[in-house]
Amino acid sequence: MHEVVDEHILQRIMGNNEDAAEHNREHFDENGNVAINFMSAPGAGKTTLLEACIQKLKAKFKIAVIEGDMVGTLDADRLAGTGAPVHQISTGRACHLDASMVGRLLHQELFDKYQVLFIENVGNLVCPAEFPLGEHFRVVLLSASEGDDKPLKYPVIFKNCNAVVFTKCDLLPHVNFDLEKAAEAVKNLNPEASIFSISVKTGEGLSQFLQWLSAQILAKQKHALHNKAIAAEGGFNVYFDASESNICRRQ
């Protein structure tokens, strides 16, 4: 046997997902959409929080939802109850959404014009962390009925997000969950992350989270408008170049 090539290279193993995520991001930015990816272990309260967020924000923004579930449409049906358009991605055996699944949905152009896209990822604290979808913001939920050591056990997802929401805080008096301890680990891993403690059941802390969410969405929209204005003046912002934006629609 004869070695012909012994190559030292550096190739990103997740490059295909990263490229697909970037492509999704171009779609979002082109249309002025703000996309937010909600992740947590199963049952931490994603669907419940999204229902509440949509109810409170639907007068302000046009909201659409992508619901990621391995099987069944239970959560999608719950979210559709808010009146927002919901599209389900059934991942089957895959325990996370990936960027190409979201991309296929975006290319079908099923949604009417919307401003905000909530994505409920598959319940899992491991895999979704490795599959960015092109979203602008990531929110990770951790419920009081889980362990306060989750950020220590699953640091990657808590490190790579914009906000951590401790949910079901109405249960705190009844469970052994040390909020301080959980928050400390998050702050050490991710000092920039915003941290919230909420209960959708009692409404406690919800308005702070909604305020944060609205502020992020508005800031992103303002930024997009600014870019659009630059493009209109003949600037070189490629995202809003019409010929550029038609490329993938023709595919």
Partner 1 sequence: MHELSIAQNILSMVNSRVEKEGIQLEATAVTVMIGEFRNVDPESLEFAFDAMKPSFEFCRNCLLKIISVKAEGICTKSMHSFHPEKQNGFSCPICNSAIKEFKSGEELDIVRIIISTIDQGRLECTK
> What is the amino acid identity at position 52?
A
Chosen residue from 18, 30, 43, 172 binding ligand GDP by CB under 6 A: 43
> Does 56 sit near partner 1 (CB under 8 A)?
no
| Binding residues among 26-65 for Mg ion as defined by CB under 5 A | 46-47
Residues 162/138, Cβ–Cβ less than 8 Å: yes
Minimum distance between the CB of residue 12 and partner 1, rounded to whole angstroms? Answer: 6
Which listed range, 4-12, 45-53, 166-174, 216-224, lies at the site for partner 1 (CB under 8 A)? 4-12
> Does 42 sit near partner 1 (CB under 8 A)?
no
> Does 11 sit near partner 1 (CB under 8 A)?
yes
| Binding residues among 175-234 for partner 1 as defined by CB under 8 A | 181, 184-185, 187-191
Scanning the structure block, which residue is given the tokens 């990936």?
98
> Does 75 sit near Mg ion (CB under 5 A)?
yes
Residue 180 binding partner per list partner 1, Zn ion, Mg ion, none, with a CB distance cut-off of 5 to 8 Å that depends on partner kind? none
Give the integer Cα–Cα distance in Å for 159 and 140.
Answer: 10
> Does 248 sit near Zn ion (CB under 5 A)?
yes
Scanning the structure block, which residue is given the tokens 């003046």?
233
| Binding residues among 158-177 for ligand GDP as defined by CB under 6 A | 167-168, 170-171
Residues ≥6 apart with Cβ < 8 Å to 157: 39, 125, 126, 128, 129, 140
Residues 89/37, Cβ–Cβ less than 8 Å: no
| Binding residues among 75-134 for ligand GDP as defined by CB under 6 A | 75, 123
Question: If residue 183 lies in a helix (H) or strand (E), which one and from where to where?
Answer: helix 179-189
Distances (CA, A) of 179 to 16, 38, 168, 210, 212: 38, 20, 12, 20, 20
Of residues 41, 38, 43, the one with CA closest to residue 65: 38
Please give the size of the binding site for partner 1, defined by CB under 8 A: 40
Residues that bind ligand GDP (CB under 6 A): 40, 42-48, 75, 123, 167-168, 170-171, 199-201
Residues that bind Mg ion (CB under 5 A): 46-47, 75
Residues that bind Zn ion (CB under 5 A): 248
